[in-house]
Structure 1
Amino acid sequence: MSEYKIGSEWRRWDLHIHSNASDGNGTPAEIVEEAIRKGISVIALTDHHTVKNIDAIKEYAKNKAIHIISGIEFRTEYGEKSVHIIGLFPDIHNGITLNAKALNELILSPLGLSETNIIAKGREGDPTLSEEKAFKKGMFKVQVDFKTAANIIRKYGGIVTVHAGDKHGSIEEMKHEGKSPRNVSDIADSLGPVKEEILKKYVDICEMSSLDEKNANFYLKAFGRCTIVASDAHDFNKTGECYTWIKADPNLNGLFHASLEPDRIFVGEIPPAIDRLQKNKTKTLERLTIAWEDAYTGANGEWFNDVDIMINPEMTAVIGNKGSGKTAIAEIIALLSNCKNSDDFVFLNKTKFKNKRLASNFKAKLSWHNNVMERSKNLNDDPDITAEEVIHFVPQRSFESFCNDSDEKFEEEINKVVFSRMPAEERLGFSSFKDLLDNKKKVIVKVQ
């Protein structure tokens, strides 16, 4: 079972950050604290050709409200200025903990990126450089084979992102069509077919420096690749200044699933779903709790012993096997919402759970988003039919009755539900949905 009880939620992710292990200035602690301050839930540390700070940043963030993804940024052989890719890695793959030691041995060394090789590259032309300076110089002199690197990243459960759009080190250095308007020898003008191949076979996500819907739509339509933006922060104060909203569990597995469903990725100020939620807090359930009454000992059954159900604001269905409690949850929510159809309840019914006052041993509480509203009742209570019905519930028996009796009754129920939820200004002063529709039809007829 997932540790995220509420299911997938929209969170801010910054999947491209550098530390002082490469060409950034921030320590692991500074990066984490800045990300938390800016409301970022997931960050990836993606230093150039090194994982020196991976263990330290994960240790620092261990008990904080943020998840760290291990990453490495690579320079490849493609493009005029080298196309950059990033490998993002899970914490564990096939029983192997992918800490800094494992990433060095399994990823960097096979690609010729051992610390010894990078230092040697950095000392070319100046053998007197210290190891630290030579390493930081050498990491920008080495390159990897794009396809080989992508295959190794994926071999260990990783995700491959590529710089795209107008971003530095972008794959745009390689032409789409592979047809140059002139005779050239530059690799950027001649690798169109390779570009198409690598986007289709070796890349999972495209990263741009800012939202460019034209390019983003192109990558999605032509190659099935979603687009993200990230801060690419080298100054730790810039961490989280550019981010992507992703609706997924806050880890690499969540990112993988989101990359297959573009609707789960949003670049912009706020996803429409969150905007809708913030404007409709009284219409959005947050939590249902069910517990024993204080005097109950469990003698008549241990149902509903400290049940705590967090409700995802975008939930549209409850799925489960027969007898798994779907009807019980629905009817308890309906009871707490003053449902007018309680005579058709099949669980909170005098012949079932209410028989011999069994339900009186239990109490429930329903909360709306941000605690704007809260309702509590004993499960043996009846709905208050004189109070406002805050949620309209159609029991299965009622639904069957609507469908079997007559089309008019079903239509009447649907119209009643729709009309009662319409803003007052849209009702145009009419008292029923039918009257409103008749008026709209008259307008259409007159126009014709």
Structure 2
Amino acid sequence: MSEDFNAIMYRQKAKAKEADETIYWDFNDIVEFANEHDALISIHAGRKVNGIDKELPNSKALPHQFAAKDEIGKKIHFFEVGQKRDIDDYKKYIWPSVGKKPIIICSDCHDPREYEQKNPLWIKSKFTFAGLKQCLYQPEERVFVGDIPPALDRICKNKQVNIDTIAVHRKTDCVHKDMNCFDFQIPLNAGLVSIIGNKGSGKSALSDIIGHLCKSKTMDHASFLNEERFRKRPKNFADDYKGIITWVDGHSEEDSLGNSEYESSIEDAQYLPQKYIEVACDAEQIIYCNMDKNSFSISYEAGAIEDSIIKNRVIDVLEGTMPAFDLRRKKYEN
């Protein structure tokens, strides 16, 4: 992109390029170049020196004098303010007009030795350009200005109950040396974590392992770590593996996946296996929703769980539902 910038923006589009002090570009040329090169545009705003609200006041400005021109505000990606109090003003007066956009606070200091931090800027993402772009879609969730984001503050104050990593490795004295089902370490986010994958890809295995390492009292309902599957004797593959859970405060606990007796009766976390919930099969009524992808029409179909058509709808939509139907049947037989 730097080569294109020199060839297009500097050599062709730049105005008064005889000196660095006078060079400038037409705003629309900047927008066009940025869009063609998947770039992001930020603009000084609020009370920031040479900001858009100070340099471009016009009839469209809102009474509080913090508004940017609509046509410019809609084309840029980030508003860069100089004071934290500008953020609330922009959310209140500018977002309704141009849409929600990330508002960041930065310094124009060109000498790091003279830099004085006013307010910390937090961006929740990977250290990549793609991570930064995610802020465009979630400006409120991804950007925070202040001492510490509330979610991170909650974790720091409760490190002993937040999981840092989950790991499973094969034991050195394993029996079935020709199999290596697990060998991983996964960091876990303190927010909502979603486990996805095709049927039989290990989703229930991972959630069961986490429940097991947290000494959950509902492990009798586990669909993977049970005596019919991974713990099935005489092979009992689970005995070949150990799981390690590490918490944010640094302490770790280790246990064999084949162990079903816990030293402590206190749960570290509650676990609700799919079989335990039985959501679909304990419902008094099922409403099936469907959208025709061609006509975009939405239809609804309601009925009792005993209805054969509704039952088939449930089986088609919810993976692993047949065992839940069996549990319901056995419950009523007893």
Secondary structure, in 3 states, of the residue corresponding to 1:159?
coil
Q: Distance in 2 between matches of 1:396 and 1:179?
A: 55
Q: Which amino acid aligns with 2:6?
A: N
Residue number among 292, 302, 307 corresponding to 2:180 in the alignment: 302
Name the counterpart of 1:228.
104
Residue number among 380, 398, 419 corresponding to 2:276 in the alignment: 398
The answer for unaligned runs of 5 or more in structure 2 is 285-334
Q: Does 1:353 align with 2:230?
A: yes
Q: Distance in 1 between matches of 2:78 and 2:11?
A: 24
Distance 1:325 1:163, change over 3 A: same
Distance 1:180 1:276, change over 3 A: closer
Q: Does 1:276 align with 2:154?
A: yes
Secondary structure, in 3 states, of the residue corresponding to 1:370?
coil
Shift of 1:159: 0.6
1:332-371 to 2 correspondence within 5 Å?
Answer: 332-355=209-232, 356-371=235-250
Check conservation: 1:337, 1:375, Cα contact below 8 A: no
Check conservation: 1:229, 1:244, Cα contact below 8 A: yes
Q: Distance in 2 between matches of 1:385 and 1:273?
A: 32
1:237-252 to 2 correspondence within 5 Å?
Answer: 237-239=113-115, 241-242=117-118, 243-252=120-129
Name the counterpart of 1:142.
23
Check conservation: 1:338, 1:385, Cα contact below 8 A: no
Q: Which amino acid aligns with 1:358?
A: F
In the superposition, the TM-score normalised over structure 2's length comes to 0.74
Shift of 1:266: 0.8
Q: Which amino acid aligns with 1:220?
A: W
Q: Distance in 1 between matches of 2:201 and 2:113?
A: 49
Name the counterpart of 1:23.
none
Q: Distance in 2 between matches of 1:405 and 1:180?
A: 53
Q: Does 1:389 align with 2:270?
A: no
Residue number among 48, 56, 63 corresponding to 1:174 in the alignment: 56
Q: Does 1:207 align with 2:113?
A: no
Structure 1 vs Structure 2: percent identity of aligned residues?
27
Deviations 1:65-89 (A, max 9, x none): xxxxxxxxxxxxxxxxxxxxxxxxx
Q: Distance in 1 between matches of 2:116 and 2:4?
A: 28
Q: Does 1:162 align with 2:162?
A: no
Q: Which amino acid aligns with 2:165?
A: R
Distance 1:180 1:221, change over 3 A: closer
Check conservation: 1:107, 1:153, Cα contact below 8 A: no
Q: Distance in 2 between matches of 1:195 and 1:140?
A: 25
Check conservation: 2:43, 2:76, Cα contact below 8 A: yes
Distance 1:198 1:386, change over 3 A: closer
Check conservation: 1:154, 1:160, Cα contact below 8 A: no
Q: Distance in 2 between matches of 1:260 and 1:175?
A: 28
Q: Distance in 2 between matches of 1:232 and 1:379?
A: 55
Shift of 1:314: 1.2
Q: Which has the higher contact order (CA 8 A, sep 6+)?
A: 1
Distance 1:246 1:238, change over 3 A: farther
Secondary structure, in 3 states, of the residue corresponding to 1:197?
helix
Shift of 1:324: 2.0
Deviations 1:144-165 (A, max 9, x none): 1111122112211111111100
Name the counterpart of 2:6.
104
Check conservation: 1:340, 1:385, Cα contact below 8 A: no
Shift of 1:387: 2.6
Secondary structure, in 3 states, of the residue corresponding to 1:376?
strand
- How many equivalent pairs are there? 274
The answer for unaligned runs of 5 or more in structure 1 is 1-97, 122-137, 182-188, 407-448
Q: Which amino acid aligns with 2:190?
A: P
Name the counterpart of 1:72.
none
Residue number among 167, 192, 200 corresponding to 1:315 in the alignment: 192
Name the counterpart of 2:294.
none
Deviations 1:123-150 (A, max 9, x none): xxxxxxxxxxxxxxx2121221111122
Check conservation: 1:340, 1:383, Cα contact below 8 A: no
Q: Which amino acid aligns with 1:380?
A: G
Q: Distance in 1 between matches of 2:205 and 2:115?
A: 46
Q: Distance in 1 between matches of 2:114 and 2:158?
A: 33
Distance 1:347 1:103, change over 3 A: same
Q: Which amino acid aligns with 2:112?
A: F
Check conservation: 1:337, 1:383, Cα contact below 8 A: no
User: Structure 1 segments of 4 or more deviating over 6 A?
Assistant: none
Q: Distance in 1 between matches of 2:265 and 2:115?
A: 50
In the superposition, the TM-score normalised over structure 1's length comes to 0.56
Distance 1:154 1:297, change over 3 A: farther
